[in-house]
Amino acid sequence: MPLARIDLPVGKSADYRNAVGDVIYTVLVEVLNAPKDDRFQVISEHSSGGLVIDPTYLGIRRTEDAILIQVTLNEGRTVELKQAFYKAVADGLHERVGQRREDVVINLVEVKKENWSYGNGEAQYVP
């Protein structure tokens, strides 16, 4: 179960927010092999000062339109899969909503399968 937290500057349209969520979900399924229909996302907008993203860290020039994407997922993907994920998300957002690739910051948080409960107070992945 990936859980995606997507943080955007305030003022983006509903179509933009939906498209960003769609791109991330599609890439999770196609690249990181997340199960189909396993879509859990929190999309939040932040006013000026509520989303702090360094404009030049590591020599990458970011604008005020930069977004943060954090995905919590089960551990075990290779570095190569993660790199493919980062590229596919940045490329997909650029193609779909015109997001600058430089303005896409992604963080993956890996957890053990027993750290999830999908409801009913149960840990469905625990045998």
Mean of pLDDT values over 31-58: 95
> 4 — phi, psi (to 5°)?
-100, 130
What is the C-alpha separation between 62 and 54, in angstroms, rounded? 7
| pLDDT above 80 for 87 | yes
State which amino acid sits at residue 59: G
Mean of pLDDT values over 69-86: 97
- Do 53 and 90 touch, CB atoms closer than 8 A? no
Active site residue 35: no
Per the residue annotation, which of 2, 9, 35, 55 is the catalytic one?
Answer: 2
Q: What pLDDT was estimated at residue 113?
A: 87
- Do 43 and 9 touch, CB atoms closer than 8 A? no
| pLDDT above 90 for 31 | yes
> 115 — phi, psi (to 5°)?
-90, 15
All domains in the chain, ordered by first residue = 3-115 (3.30.429.10)
| pLDDT above 80 for 1 | no
Q: What is the pTM of this model?
A: 0.93
Q: What pLDDT was estimated at residue 80?
A: 97
Termini Cα distance of the chain: 16
